[in-house]
Amino acid sequence: MGNVIGVIAVSCPAADMGGLTAARPLGTLPFGGRYRLLDFPLSNMVNAGLRTVGIITSFHYRSVLDHLRAGKEWLLDRKTGGLFILPGHGKE
């Protein structure tokens, strides 16, 4: 799967979860005390053989950066391909 790029959108404007998403995107909400909701589609893409994944976020993307870092936990810290954070336009 060398010519495939996975894209995950972690900001969902339709999901209003009140205080839970006031300071972070929906994809970075904790699940099970250890994981974030973003971890599941990201792990699925890596397990399916994708080596290039883009994460699209439009607001409060600092928590996305803090959680993903360089993508080492998913073996996406590479020179070709890897993990790309694509901040959209929106408030920080």
The alpha carbons of the chain give a radius of gyration, in whole angstroms, of 13
**pTM for the full predicted model:** 0.80
Q: Report d(CA 53, CA 55) in Å as an integer.
A: 7
pLDDT of 28 above 80: yes
Tokens of 31: 């699940």
Q: Are 41 and 31 in contact (CB under 8 A)?
A: no
Tokens of 63: 């928590």
Residue 68, CA atoms < 13 Å, CB-side half-sphere: 29
Q: Higher pLDDT residue, 25 or 91?
A: 25
pLDDT of 92 above 60: no
pLDDT of 37 above 80: yes
Sketch the domain layout of the chain as residue ranges.
6-87
- Mean pLDDT of the 7-32 span: 79
Question: 39 pLDDT band (50/70/90 cuts)?
Answer: very high
